Structure 1
């Protein structure tokens, strides 16, 4: 074959031209029954997907690397690619009806799949939002926009510094981040570099963004004051369109987030409190896992969003609490959950309908959900009339749940109950729904009768009783005869294949029927597709109302779940006192520990206010200090999502932020030691906490020598006193507890333990005052440290305590001498003899 301008074959030339348009993403190039990765993509895919790397042909006299996957397993491999934050372009073979001189099959990219623009059910995490986010920095303002493509939630906000940008990125946790390609200096962001995409600066043009949002998406609630935010929003839509996705009818409203209604919690705090990921990086034994008894995946996602995004909108918090009160008091949990679980994840189904990518089974699930809406609406109507004196979020939920009798009837009449996976398979639409479709199907449906009739006719005509008409995908219909009867074969039979004991033939009549059968099937499926598209378009006309209904159902699922949890776990309704700084918790509990603890959890109280805003907590290792400080933060957080809380009584004042500095770990890849991370987290608290903040600090200063560590801890406490932040400060530095003599805002509390026959019993209850008993050696023995180590440690500890006592005596002596005055010699004469004796006895 003559080489072309690329000095290679036409198929590689075609590949290179297509790949040139998609340089920075993987290209899945369809070749027969395989999708192939070529050149550098082959090396990347081989390593990423653990598939064999081969080579075929040459380019510039070098073998062309190649790695392939079967076309029918593409979804399995796509999930692994997308999970790693990598985008991929799907290049398909296109049937070309035009006659050309070349045998080269036409190919083109039909879709670009990126982590933030997937909508396929099998590629998504059903319990997690899948956000794509864009940012732009201009005139000292960061514009931020985010889109949950699978639900249509579309948000815009602006922040004025890098710290707040990082907080928003931690809160939103995107799977894909878009940034203008001209961005030169990007701050260190709390996300993987693999998900950052540098895109055309023109995508961020404000005028283009406004035009797309207002005119193309018909979004009318645009706040033009948020110039950078709108630019970022427009960039997302243009990026999606550029990836060959154009049907965006489900995106029709902007959410403008107000910072004044957010209770800020950073990623560190979320990790320490184990909101949805535990300390081992797993999803079990977290606050989310304890609370999540939702009936739908969309409810599960919304619950996780509420947990990670507490609010300070007191009115909305009260509406949520009132809804829980109504559901519990009217015994509605079971009946609501029993109906909600029949609805499923219609939020993402409706999005696939809007994108015109819904499968027949999606429509069946929607049909089943539509039948439940009237039942839920009737339940809410009845209960709201009974409790009309109480305003709650149930009022809004009731308004947004609509009933769709016409759509329900259409789907019931049009679709069979158990349809095939895709419309391409046919027989999705019921018989008798469309007369023309029934007519087109008739030939295909009667094919079996025709074949049987043709077979009997040929048996009689040829006199061969063992003549059979068979079918396979390779040859179509054929006539099969035993070899011993070949002398009876009519002249019009055309030989197809010879087997060991039989011969295969076909006739013009049989092939004519086969062609008619194929044509009738193709025509019926094509017409069925047209009917299916009409049904989809009817649904799209109702997409806005359907989306609002789905979100209302998701909210009802979460509220019902919080009601069930409150009742099952003995939670109480907290009081928010927005005019009084402080926290009062009686018999508070840690919901995660309580859920896994085989023994009864011992509750504890907490009292903090403006005049007494810091508790220093001492006590033994494993005595309950860390559990105590975490449980109080969780109780505050639950209060600010509108939930009931694990306590007998809780009264919480205004809180704007929750900070934690708990545990020890390093980040060697970033060159950060345990102590450096501790100091970074401490600096973040001291620089950003306010008098409305809740601060949890666990053993500050332990990453360095005791003297310096104590000094740092003491200085931090004095700074927190200045800030007036509500603080729980646990420590093993007993000297630190003396600070309460200097500052009245500080109180000492401690956990205790009992030692009996060298066995330790933790009491787990809070006591007033400080303790110097850490029981470290006893705890070490519980961890099965060898006995000779424990014994040696005990000996060393005795020696060190003796030296410490001597050092204390010397310090007192030196201090006494420094303050000694000649004029008062007679007064101090008696003490002088005592000093001499002290010096003699110092060893």
Structure 2
């Protein structure tokens, strides 16, 4: 490539001969043309630049001629050059001085000689700017004549810069040359995130492997927050992208089957300008992926369905995972819905992986290693402790979690294309009856989520109030209630519970 680049030495020589090494931002303010290029410009520059020395000479000469030691020669944009004499020395002013301005402490004068020099200086400065700009325009015109060659050279240099940059980084950070092929198999051994690795320093980032082949195209990744799921998925996308642009990649070995597109659904953001919530933005992006991805695409899906209720979110995530599997695209699917790990037994090319941690005395240490298999908990409370939540909040969260887990029940559902696919869905359940009996007194020992005085309410026998309240609650159409109507109904129910009133309108 270096031999194909036209160095344009004539253009370089012309620019160096005409322009100064550090020209000003504006070419119309002068100071652009190099000394020695134009004799006329050099002469005008000498005249315009000798003003200070000439004024010093005039000032000393007039002091000697008049005997006024305080005499000064100055310049203003309004009056131009002037001779200033203090009031005490006005009697010594020569006859050829012409009064121009009266001040509180003296007067300012001009002379024909001073005025003529002023015209010379000002004229020289204006003409100098004009000549410098004209010389610049002439240079620009000569360069335009070879514009096509110049643009070609610029493009070649830019391309060379890209290759040199990638080569430099590859050598500096130990990247390897990927094997790119037209199949769909993707194998990465010891893959690393190029940006994160650079920020944490050499030898700190934990490398991980990735495999997509005919046996697994959908990788379901579980693990706690902050464990590195998003980093892992993004590094896979970046390695594929780098390989397909011709770069070496941050890995020990990489076999990359070409991808026609890389789709991502990561992060959480809303679009207030168009009135779209976080969940709506997420669903719009997922819809775009499902409509446009092919079996040759690479999909990065991070916690699909988290922006809505638990069951709705899990149902959407489950359905999206199935759709991606049917499509045959290579997909990394991170989720906190642990029920989705059951897809490994129902979907032929689904495989579960988790981000390893080390747990000890209710604390966790992130190992940042991707391992086969799913997990059944997210360690959210432990992560909250690491984030600095108050210990009282952590203790209370443990109490609530323990009670919710005791009340967890499993239901079997048939979900999937195959009629025989039976999948167990598990989720903490707190039924309306449990909550009402906890609030008004019942037979079930169930957690009251909001204690009036910070203590559990005492349980007693089931009352008629609770039965009527539950009956009324089950008849509500909550999908048609506004938040205000729901709060009004709850306030009304609370009042009746306190009064022991079993009647309902």
Give TM-score scaled by structure 2 length. 0.72
Change in Cα spacing, 1:459 to 1:646, as seen in structure 2 (3 Å) is closer
2:168 match: 564
1:404-427 deviation digits (Å, cap 9, x = unpaired) = 2x3333333334445555444445
Aligned counterpart, 2:349:
745
Selected match of 1:472 from 76, 89, 101: 76
Is residue 2:263 matched to residue 1:655? no
- The residue that corresponds to 1:584 in the other structure is 187
Alpha-carbon contact 1:566-1:645 (below 8 Å) kept: yes
Match for 1:698 among 287, 298, 302?
A: 302
- Please list every run of 5 or more consecutive structure 1 residues that lacks an aligned counterpart in the other structure: 1-394, 812-842
Instruction: State whether residues 100 and 108 of structure 2, in contact with CA within 8 Å, keep that contact through their aligned partners in structure 1.
Output: yes
In structure 1, what is the Cα distance between the partners aligned to 2:256 and 2:92? 98
Match of 1:719 in 2: 323
- Give the 3-state SS of the residue equivalent to 1:696 in structure 2: strand
Residue 649 of structure 1 and its aligned partner are, at CA, apart by 0.6
Residue deviations 1:593-637 (CA, integer Å, cap 9, x gap):
323347822211111123421112223333332222221111111
TM-score scaled by length of structure 1: 0.45
With over 3 angstroms needed to count, the CA separation of the structure-2 counterparts of 1:498 and 1:638, relative to structure 1, is same
Residue in structure 1 matched with residue 247 of structure 2 by the alignment: 643
Q: What is the CA distance between 1:505 and its match in structure 2?
A: 1.8
User: Take 1:572 and 1:730, find their aligned partners in 2: how far apart are those partners?
Assistant: 27
Q: Distance in 2 between matches of 1:725 and 1:785?
A: 40
Conserved 8 A contact 2:175-2:251 = yes
Secondary structure at the counterpart of residue 356 of structure 2: strand
Residues 620 and 752 of structure 1 are in contact (CA less than 8 Å); yes or no, is this contact kept in structure 2? Answer: no
Instruction: Give how far 1:692 is off.
Output: 0.4
Q: Could you tell me which residue of structure 1 aligns to residue 205 of structure 2?
A: 601
Residues 483 and 639 (structure 1), Cα distance of their counterparts in 2 relative to 1, 3 Å cut: same
Instruction: Identify if the C-alpha distance between structure 1 residues 575 and 424 changes in structure 2 by more than 3 Å, giving closer, same or farther.
Output: same
The structure with the larger Rg is: 2
The answer on 1:545 being equivalent to 2:149 is yes
Q: Is there any run of 5+ residues in structure 2 with no aligned partner, and where?
A: 415-445, 447-505
SS of equivalent to 1:708: helix
Displacement of 1:461 after TM fit? 6.2
- How many pairs does the alignment contain? 413
Counterpart-to-counterpart distance in 2, 1:469 and 1:455: 6
Task: Name the CA distance, whole Å, in 2 between partners of 1:447 and 1:708.
Answer: 83
Equivalent in 98, 104, 107 of residue 494 of structure 1: 98
| Equivalent of 2:111 in 507, 515, 538 | 507
Per-residue CA deviation, residues 642-679 of structure 1 (Å, 9 max, x unaligned), is 22211111111020111122333434443333332232
User: Is the Cα–Cα contact under 8 Å of residues 70 and 86 in structure 2 kept in the other structure?
Assistant: yes
What value does the CA root-mean-square deviation take over the aligned residues? 3.2
Cα 1:763/1:505, change in 2 over 3 Å: closer
CA deviation after TM superposition for structure 1 residue 694, in Å? 0.7
Q: CA deviation at 1:564?
A: 1.9
Cα deviation for residue 452 of structure 1 reads: 6.5
The question of 1:403 aligning with 2:8 is answered yes
Q: Distance in 2 between matches of 1:457 and 1:795?
A: 98
Contact 2:244 2:258 in 1 (8 A): no
- Indicate the residue corresponding to 1:765 in structure 2: 369
Change (3 A) 1:442 1:789: closer
SS of the counterpart of 2:408?
Answer: helix
User: For the Cα contact (< 8 Å) 1:401–1:553, is it kept in 2?
Assistant: no
Contact 2:233–2:300 (8 Å) recurs in 1: yes
Give the C-alpha shift of residue 468 in structure 1. Answer: 5.1
